[in-house]
A and B are shown apart, each in its own frame.
Chain A
Amino acid sequence: MSSALPTEYLTPTGREEAWRFTPLKRIAGLHDPAVSVVDRISIELFGKARAGFDISTAKASELPARSITTDAIVQRLRSEVTEVLHLKIDNEAVVSEPILLKRNAGGSGEFSRTVITAGAHSKASVIVENTGDGIIGEEIEIRVEAGASLTFITLQEWGQNAVHMGRHHAIVGRDANFRSITVTIGGSLVRLLPTVEYSDQGSAAELWGIYFATDGQHLEHRVFIDHGIPRAKSRVNYKGVLAGDGARTVWIGDVFIRHNAEGTDTYELNKNLLLSDGARADSVPNLEIETGEIVGAGHASTTGRFDDEQLFYLMSRGISMNEARRLVIRGFFTEIVDKIGDEVIQERLMTQIDSQLEKLGA
């Protein structure tokens, strides 16, 4: 795996390993230099400015990306985007309520770059809410400085025609904690790259995610944790539900433990629940290890159907089949949704999950 090395910027054809699952026909030319894409900052702060953080824009040349990517869309947007949104959380600031960012994306192709800096020893939670029917290629680079603790939540509550190609890359500093929660429910085609690298020792990253695909939705998450520093920790746990004809999900979990990353502690997990025939879940955990001097490295992946015994148990107490299914699916997602820490958002997501089920007549 040479994911950290730059390669030539080539238009994907669909034969590449990184693109083989993605329906390129449906990504509206975001990957194709022959199709022009609007360069616009589409994320804004929701609510009043508060103490402890600041939002500004900067010229792209003044705030260049600090990470290397091989992703063709991200490479292209980096070369085309002229202005970058910068959310800076002050050093040592403790921001109690989540910082809510909302995206208003237009109906034609757009590129957007965002940088989030969690200053040293700060503590905050950032939520990015995506709604509507945008066609968006985006990169969010998250710099978690020494001793900082950042929770980064993205909600893909897109309309049914949305196309979202995104890279959410965290650079986690010394003794810093990065936690991400990725929720993907809406959208026609969503392909996200939640990726992490460590810039110093003692750092930790937890990546949580849920996705729910129904008829014709393609929801793809390609996690990559690059352990290139000693004594860093990572945990990954993504759970998905698929239902309806042509519902498609892809989960890739790449973990790379480089030769110098002794003391690494990593575990990744992906669970999928298939509710109907005609849906397909790909789940590919992949662990590459260059040193044996580690604390632990493991992965697990399961894809299964409804547990009939659970449904029987609930129904034997008078609960209807539909309600039993609803309870089991809510239960499946609860472990991760509850980590968002905002009851209003949690309930809203659960309601959306219910309505995904209702669409199926379940």
Chain B
Amino acid sequence: MAQLVIRDLEVSVEGESGSLEILRGVDLTVNSGEVHAIMGPNGSGKSTLAYSIAGHPKYSVIGGSVTLDGVDVLEMSVDERAKAGLFLAMQYPVEVPGVSVANFLRAAATALRGEAPKVRTWVGEVKEAMSRLSIDPAFSERSVNEGFSGGEKKRLEILQMKVLRPKIAILDETDSGLDIDALRIVSDGVNRVKGEQNLGIMLITHYTRILRYIKPDYVHVFAGGKIVEEGGPELADRLEEKGYAQYAKA
């Protein structure tokens, strides 16, 4: 059992006109095996929450805490957070020219497992994971995310989540830019990993569409840099109907 605990998190970002506070006291607990949907309008701070937990240098934590199984995450470097069991599937995965998908996955698995995975089992493991996500095996030799379509990038994120075996995953708008077929493939992949690895998931999304494929246990509405309402799956249905306008002044 893993537990990610976010308490009263306040985060600012350095802008051209000085420091801007984006997160204004976020409280959230994610346990293994749970799916938490974080929903909210654009600009509400959802992605800032994701990047802050992963340790992106652009964001400064000015208050509150984030712990994983009681250990302070905010003290950790970016790679240490991944080693502790956190994973961020990014909304805009980054292109890394000249670094092949195969090399990248192997370097990451080696870092996370503390030793290079055995070649014989590793190749099979990656191949199977790729095939289940309908990723062409030829992608292994391509540079990470370079020239990938939006859907291909998102599938590569889920592939990484599968082979890197995190405890808690944050999926930042993994559904954005996916057509219905790609959404189904990606959602199946997420559900499979969750089932196999008892993954805890923080699913950040603007739309309710993905929640038809990945069933949330809890829904949190995010507005103005904090959670303004919480509930079960039924809250998502209400949002579908009424939209975010009711939270605009939050």
- Chain A residues with CB under 8 Å of chain B are 307-310, 312-321, 323-324, 327-328, 330-335
Contacts and interface: CB of A to CB of B under 8 A. Distances in A.
A316 B96 contact: no
Nearest to B51: A312
B129 to A, nearest CB: 15
Interface stretch (B14-22, B98-106, B196-204, B205-213): B98-106
B96 A318 contact: no
Contacts, number: 80
Contact of B94 (A312, A330, A332, A334): A312
Contacts of A319: 79, 107-108, 111
B83 interface: yes
Nearest to A332: B98
A321 B111 contact: no
Contacts of B56: 312
Contact of A317 (B77, B95, B160): B160
B99 A315 contact: no
A319 B83 CA distance: 9
| Candidate in B55, B77, B93, B104 with the most chain A CB atoms within 10 angstroms | B104
A316 B88 contact: yes
Given A312-B56, A328-B96, A321 B77 contact: yes
Interface in B43-90: 54-57, 77-79, 81-83, 87-88, 90
Interface in B105-154: 107-108, 111-112, 143
B103 to A, nearest CB: 7
A318 B79 contact: yes
Given A321-B77, A323-B107, A316 B99 contact: no
Contact of B98 (A314, A317, A331): A331
Interface residues of B, number: 29
Nearest to A320: B79
B66 to A, nearest CB: 15
A317 B108 contact: yes
Nearest to B88: A316
Contacts of A330: 98-99
Contacts of A314: 96, 99, 104, 107-108
Given A313-B93, A318-B164, A319-B79, 9 more contacts: A310-B94, A312-B57, A315-B78, A316-B88, A317-B108, A317-B111, A318-B82, A318-B83, A319-B111
Contacts of B93: 313
A324 B79 CA distance: 10
A23 B192 CA distance: 63
Given A316-B88, A317-B164, A332-B98, A327 B82 contact: no
Contacts of B108: 314, 317-319
A314 B99 CA distance: 10
B99 A317 contact: no
A327 B160 contact: no
B231 interface: no
B197 to A, nearest CB: 16
A312 B107 contact: no
Contacts of B177: none
A318 B112 CA distance: 6
A210 to B, nearest CB: 12
B111 A309 contact: no
B97 interface: yes
B89 to A, nearest CB: 10
A319 B97 CA distance: 17
Contacts of A313: 90, 93-94, 96
A331 B111 contact: no
Nearest to B82: A318
30 contacts: A307-B94, A309-B94, A310-B95, A312-B56, A312-B94, A314-B99, A314-B104, A314-B108, A315-B82, A316-B54, A316-B55, A316-B88, A316-B90, A317-B104, A317-B108, A317-B112, A317-B160, A317-B164, A319-B79, A319-B111, A324-B79, A327-B96, A327-B103, A330-B98, A330-B99, A331-B96, A331-B99, A331-B143, A332-B98, A335-B98
B162 to A, nearest CB: 13
Contact of A335 (B90, B97, B107, B160): B97
Contacts of B164: 317-318
